[in-house]
Amino acid sequence: MTPDPRATQLIDGASQAIAAAQRDLDADELSAAAERICVAMLRLAKACLTVDGVAAGPTSAVCVSYGDRFARGGRMYSAYQRWLLDAADLRKASTLAVAAAVDRGAVERAAERAEIFRDAVSRFVQKSGAS
């Protein structure tokens, strides 16, 4: 059995978003980088849900469904759900006028976590395709 093509597509999209975020970071565009990292994390969560046959909905539904299916039961490392929510909140902070300034370290940390999450989701999708 081969990996779910839609999940693979989502992982590829996430990889592109992470690469773009790195370029934004190099250009010191923290807000844009935070946005792309969040997009990447959401795509990866959607890839996991796709394997389970769950249709992806809006951002909040993705976060809730992912937590329900993968963090609660320990199917994936529970920190990934926290990182997903953190990435969404980092994006929100980078665009909300009243929020404190988002520092480079926060975005870099989010980018590293997105890469770790991508690798984990890739393995998960591969395994689910092999089984």
Q: Quick one: which segment of 1-9, 13-21, 39-47, 105-113 binds other proteins (CB under 8 A)?
A: 105-113
- Report angle CA 117, 123, 58 to the nearest 5 degrees: 50
Residue among 37, 43, 34 nearest 12 (CA): 43
User: Are 126 and 47 in contact, with CB atoms under 8 Å apart?
Assistant: no
Site for other proteins (CB under 8 A): how many residues? 49
Using CB under 8 A as the binding rule, whether residue 52 contacts other proteins is answered as: no
Using CB under 8 A as the binding rule, whether residue 41 contacts other proteins is answered as: no
Using CB under 8 A as the binding rule, whether residue 60 contacts other proteins is answered as: yes
Structure tokens at 103: 């520092």
What is the rounded end-to-end Cα distance, in angstroms, of the chain? 7
B/e letters for 42-72, b = 16+ CB within 10 Å, e = fewer, are bbbbbbbbbbeebebeeeeebbebbbebbbe
Distance, CA of 128 to chain centre: 19
Binding mask 20-39 for other proteins (x = CB under 8 A): --------------------
The distance of closest approach from Cβ of residue 19 to other proteins in the complex, given in angstroms and rounded to an integer, is 18
Q: Output 6 or 109, the one with its CB closest to other proteins.
A: 109
Among 37, 47, 51, 63, binds other proteins (CB under 8 A): 63
Among 4, 72, 118, 130, binds other proteins (CB under 8 A): 72
Among 8, 15, 93, 129, binds other proteins (CB under 8 A): 93
